[in-house]
Amino acid sequence: MTDISSITGMASNTTSTTNTASQNLSADMNTFLTLLTTQLKYQDPLDPMDTAEFTNQLVQYSSVEQAIQTNSKLDDLLSLNISNLGAQAVSYIGKTAQVLGDVMPLQNGKAKAAYTLNKDVTSVSIMVKDMNGKVVYTTTGETTSGTHEFDWDGKDSNGNQLEDGAYQIVVSTKVPSGETEATVTTTVFGKVTGVASDSNNIYIGLGDAVTATLGDIVTMREDNYFDKNNSSNVGSGGSSSDKDEEAEEKPSEETNLA
């Protein structure tokens, strides 16, 4: 997750497909012309070849050739679009991204996530797990409908500082008996450290262990967004409506990409 040298991979794959189609068409056309000239050479003078059918076959080959040329132009547009997306993603490096997902990066002993409830619930339990599935921290969260932020100082339930890396946040809710379960949507925050791509998508790196696609990005925020967190919320679930004095004096620069 350090560069975008592979961004041209998608474009080269589609271009290769178009080139293969053109080569196949050329081979088929040569075969067709060989058969046609042979047929003309040996046709029965009293029963000549149907000119209408002959013209129809030529038109069909011409249509296929035009379709392949159109695909080639579309491939050029796709390549340009991918390059533009890659260039846009590079500008995210160093900024803080909020993305859909439940795996958050612990960077420099700080991690941040958010969860959204579609309804009020009776209780919210928040668990943080390492990538081996071990629960390293638990706390409670806000129970009202809406979006609530969770800040974690990277310490386990015994107060031990954990290593930076990827950790999963699991939000569980309870509702009154007889009611339908609440829907929980989680997002995570992380400073963008790199950009890469494969044949399917363009990805941003959050920290050293978490990746997300461009389509998963919800917001992009200014570089020092983490530094504006209210330290009293670290390690517990905090409502998104809670703002520290510094943030009120100078709101974070936020770009909504949803």
Is residue 151 within 8 Å of residue 233, measured between CB atoms? Answer: yes
The residue with greater pLDDT, 182 or 65, is: 182
Residues making up the chain, counted from first to last:
258
Q: What is the pLDDT of residue 160?
A: 96
pTM value is 0.63
44 versus 98: which is more confidently predicted? 98
- CA dist 116 and 46 (Å) reads 82
Residue whose token pair is 């932020």: 149
Provide the pairing of β-strand 111-117 with 184-197.
antiparallel
pLDDT in tens, 163-212: 999 999 999 999 999 999 999 999 999 999 998 877 667 889 998 889 99
Give buried/exposed letters for 62-97 (b at 16+ CB in 10 A, else e). Answer: eeeeeeeeebbeebeeebeebeebbeebeebbebbb
DSSP 229: S
Q: How confident is the model at residue 38 (pLDDT cuts 50, 70, 90)?
A: confident
Q: What per-residue confidence (pLDDT) applies to 91?
A: 85
210 forms beta bridges with 206
Confidence category of residue 25, pLDDT binned at 50, 70, 90: low
Helix orientation angle between 51-90 and 8-42, rounded to the nearest 10 degrees: 170
What 8-state DSSP symbol labels residue 144? Answer: S
CA atoms in the 13 A half-sphere facing the CB of 55: 3
How much is the average pLDDT of 52-74?
A: 69
What are the structure tokens assigned to 231, written together? Answer: 């330290």
Distances (CA, A) of 147 to 1, 93, 185, 206: 30, 26, 9, 22
CA distances from 16 to 12, 23, 63, 71 (A): 6, 11, 21, 12
- Who has greater pLDDT, 233 or 225? 225
Query: What pLDDT does residue 61 have?
Result: 65
Q: What is the CATH class of 96-246?
A: mainly beta
Residue 223 has pLDDT above 80, yes or no: no
Domain boundaries, the chain: 8-90, 96-246
DSSP state of 218: E
Query: Two tokens at 21?
Result: 């189609």
Q: Between residues 108 and 42, which one has the greater pLDDT?
A: 108
Element (H, E) at 116: strand 111-117
Give the closest residue to 106 by CA, choosing from 220, 208, 193.
Answer: 208
Q: Dig out the tokens for 2 from the structure.
A: 């350090």
